[in-house]
Chain A
Amino acid sequence: MEGILFWFLALVLLGSAVAVITNRSPVASALSLVTMILALAGLFGLLGAYFLAAIQVWVYAGAVMVLFLFIIMLLDLKAEEGMPLRALGVGAGLFLVLFLGVGIWHAIPASAWEANGLRAAVSNDAASIGHLLFGAYVLPFEAVGFLLLVAMVGVIVLSKRDV
């Protein structure tokens, strides 16, 4: 049962990820991305990481992508729809995917995943994730938070400039 679900979700995930790029209509691309996010949340659920799955759906599908869609619809992009895929772009994309994939494969060996107790913590509940985030990983967590704050201030400064 889990095997079937895994392959189904993985196929949906990869298929919609490809559809994000190959779709020429921005709205269709955005919706494919939403499908991909939902499939990814399903995979997290299969790993027992329900917290991650719920947050994935809530934050990415429920908030970020809605804003994306919102902007796409407001701008009503038409020029994009006629643009064909270019060989150079496809090649560069494939190269980047391979580069990043191999990089991640080497950077995070399966043993590290098990050794740091990450798997146990992640597939447990919100409390253990909280203990990890505010305990062992508090510095990276705060750094990410600070980065987001900087981005927010940047956006406000940029959008206020011509007032």
Chain B
Amino acid sequence: MVTELTVFLVSTLIKIFLVIGVLLGLVAYAVLAERKVSAAMQDRIGPNRVGLPFVKARLMGLGQPLADAFKLMLKEQFVPGHVRGFYYNLAPMLAFLPALLAICVIPFAGVDPIHLPGLSLAIPQPGVIANVGIGALLLFAVTSLGVYGIVLAGWSSNSKYAFLGGIRSSAQMISYEVAMGFSAIPVFLISGALSLPQIVDFQIERGWLLLPFVGKQFDWHLLFLWPSLLLSSLIFLVTLFAETNRAPFDLPESEQELVGGYNTEYGGMRFGMFFLGEYAALISASGLFVTLFLGGWSLPFGLLGTATSLSTFFLQALVFLGKVCLLVFFFMWIRWTLPRFRYDQVMTLGWKVLLPLSMANIVLVAILLAVFGGTP
């Protein structure tokens, strides 16, 4: 006898394994992609030697992540003598965890229950690990914890460079968190929901919030709101760069001044955890942007809006993955194009430009919604 609870537990476990597996695979290949993209932009070839083990095939360097991972794991776990031991070990774990937690509430496919052949009970919420009503807020809350790993790493390393990196990072993340939250509020105002699957459903019906004319039906309300939405998505994107410590906001680890920043004193897999955490955060940030502004798992004009069978479900997941990969490529493109900001420029941009702009945007959207209507 199959009860609803077992279906829920088994399907959730499968989803967790799938999502974490795909995420870690993406992280490994994002590192390779980063090197390939940077090589292409600087007119180099990039890593192209490592193929599969025991086979002569080089596969354009596709075996590189495997070699990188083994190198990190097999390295000696060296701990410098001057560190504060407990926190030094704690920090990499804290840096890695929030990004993994954040991915739990991001819907990668439709959440309407689907029936599998040979199973009488439907699978609840197939497209998201945890369908929480306030998913967006929970996601912001969890990602805001990411700063602890970096701050503790900087402090516990007991070294100048690491400490400066940690301090810079916490100042930067706190500053941009505010603007990030504010720039997402217009999305919640317009869609009238805090639940990420509901926001995607809204976009399937009425148009993606970044491209309001690709919905199932045309909605002139969204055209009025389009300028505000463009502004809000731009601010959100910039703050995502800052929150994930990516160039041009990579001051916490600016090589020229700080050696490696907060992770200077780390080696082996401990360093690997920071690395993994950084890329995992990048991918979940891309997933969040896709969910909020780019219609999540759907294609334009309501195609693939609802999954009825397992095959359409997987197609949705692939569409979502494709959008995330494009956005990750965009992140890399920016990183290898723009030079790093100066510290005072980062603070000025965050507090004097993005924050007031995003607040004004909220007021504007609220007034437009009150005058023209348009919330569901």
Interfacial residues, chain A to chain B (CB-CB below 8 A) = 27, 34, 50-51, 53-55, 57-58, 61-63, 66-67, 69-70, 73-74, 125-126
Contacts and interface: CB of A to CB of B under 8 A. Distances in A.
Sort chain B's interface into a size bin. Answer: 20 to 34
B167 A62 contact: no
Contact of A73 (B132, B151, B174, B177): B151
In the A-B complex, list the 3 residue pairs whose CB atoms are closest, starting with the nearest.
Answer: A62-B144, A58-B141, A57-B141
Interface of B: 87, 132-134, 137-138, 140-142, 144-145, 147-148, 151, 154-155, 163, 166-167, 170-171, 173-174, 177, 181, 194
Given A27-B155, A54-B138, 5 more contacts: A58-B141, A62-B140, A62-B141, A62-B147, A73-B167
B144 A54 contact: no
B149 to A, nearest CB: 11
Nearest to B133: A125
B194 A63 contact: no
B interface secondary structure, majority: helix
Contacts, number: 68
Given A69-B151, A73-B155, A62 B177 contact: yes
A46 to B, nearest CB: 14
16 contacts: A27-B155, A51-B137, A54-B137, A54-B138, A54-B140, A58-B144, A58-B181, A61-B141, A62-B140, A63-B174, A63-B177, A66-B144, A66-B147, A69-B151, A69-B170, A126-B137
A50 B132 contact: yes
Contact of B145 (A27, A57, A125): A57
Nearest to A74: B167
A81 B194 CA distance: 44
A66 B138 contact: no
